[in-house]
Amino acid sequence: MKINIYILTGLMASISIILGVIENFIPSPVPAIRLGLSNVPILIMIYLAGANYALLLALLKAFIVPIFSANIVFKFSLSVPATLISFLFMYITYKLFKNSLSVVTISVIGAVAHMATQIVIVSIFYIKGLLYTNYTGILLLSAVITGVLMGIISYRIINHRQIGEMFARI
């Protein structure tokens, strides 16, 4: 039955990539703020399928989404490390605290790790003075808010009976 989980991982990766591309077109009050919709499938896979498949999905998303953006090199330099570090933080938190923390908090931790990684990369390689501005706080606040929203969506999907049963059958 292993083939099924690979098909499902591919489907989830497709959803994540499509959401990642679509959210580039959603306007935000401050540039660089994203909803993080593509993080929802990664969270679902961590909870319902396991770390290996979630990592596979995260890698596919990190490498493919930047191809569909205007600045490929810039987006690659942010997307790949940010997605991997965000995945790492979410997985470690899930492993250590899955009984005491809910999916919403794990989503927030992932979003903050993702944003913090991007801020560090931009301040090292692109804009040296970024850390001296209040932009950092605005971006972190946006990560917390979007992390909560995406966490609630993930919670609803993970606790959906039919989706749970579908993953259990695989």
Least distance from C-beta 141 to another protein, angstroms? 4
Binding status of residue 37 toward another protein by CB under 8 A:
no
> Which one of 56, 64, 152, 163 is in contact with another protein (CB under 8 A)?
152
Is there a contact between 19 and 41 (Cβ–Cβ < 8 Å)?
yes
Instruction: Give the number of residues in contact with another protein, rule: CB under 8 A.
Output: 36
Question: Least distance to another protein from the beta carbon of 27, Å?
Answer: 9
Is the Cβ–Cβ distance between 36 and 111 less than 8 Å?
yes
**95 touching another protein, by CB under 8 A:** no
With b for 16 or more beta-carbon neighbours within 10 A and e for fewer, the 144-167 pattern comes to: eebbebbbebbbebbeeeeeeeeb
Residue 120 binds another protein (CB under 8 A):
no
Question: Contact between 102 and another protein (CB under 8 A)?
Answer: yes
Q: Does 97 bind another protein (CB under 8 A)?
A: yes
Q: Residue 94: count other Cβ atoms within 10 Å of its Cβ.
A: 19
